Amino acid sequence: MSKLRGELRENEAMAAHVSWRAGGAAARAYFPADLPDLQEFLRCLRPDEPLLAVGLGSNLLVRDGGFNGTMVFTHGLLNTIRQEADGTLYVEAGVASPKVARFAANLNLTGAEFLAGIPGTFGGALAMNAGCYGGETWPLVERVLMLNRGGELIERRPDEFAIGYRHAGLKNVTDELFAAAWLRLPAGDGAAARTQIADLLAKRMNSQPLDLPNAGSVFRNPPDDYAARLIEAAGLKGASEGGARVSEKHANFIVNPEGAASASAIENLLNRVQAEVRQQFGVELAREVRIVGEKAW
């Protein structure tokens, strides 16, 4: 690994890297210098090494027993965003989604305003087809740049992916990471777009517990209903477990108000909410957050 320019750490505490401020350690963590450096790192990695890309950690919980593999951190490192000669926006996976919204509006491009309400990186937005306030990520995508375990870059079209509500994955391949995407956005009124972004952020601030450690919406909305409505109707607003609590401001958020809740406490509360909603309404809430790693025994 002598050619690498990034930083490799061992037993990296994930509480410092996820928005819940809880969880175990990653056995190895790599912070690439840039995309070519990440390519070189993947060429050096064992083919069977468990691998997970992490952006801002805004949709992730690492169990207290830790993740026995390698996590690659992209935020602030795979951070190129530019307009290409053909008018598309090239956005690398580590760019924060709100930055994409502002960058597009400043170029008088519209349609990306909703990304201001997505707290993670654009790589995460691609992986989960993130959306809010009527917008979703993949309708903006013209093509994507993928990175495989051999360090090769591959351009792919949207029709090569199975894309659904809060999910996007390659149909026939499982070992590729999102490196970047090209977005096609229509020209429009940049000033109006910036106003819409400001309004969206104000609405988010007023309706979500952004002042407390959280991971955004915990559950996907079931068909023709809202997870928050079901959780509130089940009497679970304010329910707590080991320092973790269902937010009184928005029932589809679990918060860690004192920063002292363990990953186990958060996961137990999440499971309790699922069980109560299932028992009372017969609805199975699907997790929107990703939980990885081993439980501590």
**β partners of residue 178:** 146
By CB atoms closer than 10 A (0-12, 13-18, 19+), residue 234 is: buried
Angle (CA) 261 264 265, round 5°: 45
| Catalytic site includes residue 217 | yes
User: Which residue blocks in 139-225 are alpha helix, DSSP H?
Assistant: 190-207
Confirm if 57 and 14 have CB atoms less than 8 A apart. yes
Beta bridge partners of 25: 13
166 carries an active-site annotation: yes
Active site residue 92: no
Residue 266: count of CB within 10 angstroms of its CB: 30
What's the CA gap between 256 and 78, in Å, rounded? 29
Active-site entry in 21, 28, 166, 245:
166
Among candidate residues 58, 97, 217, 264, the one labeled active-site is: 217
CB neighbours (10 Å) of residue 248?
A: 12
Q: What is the identity of the amino acid at 4?
A: L
Residues with a catalytic annotation lie at 166, 217, 288
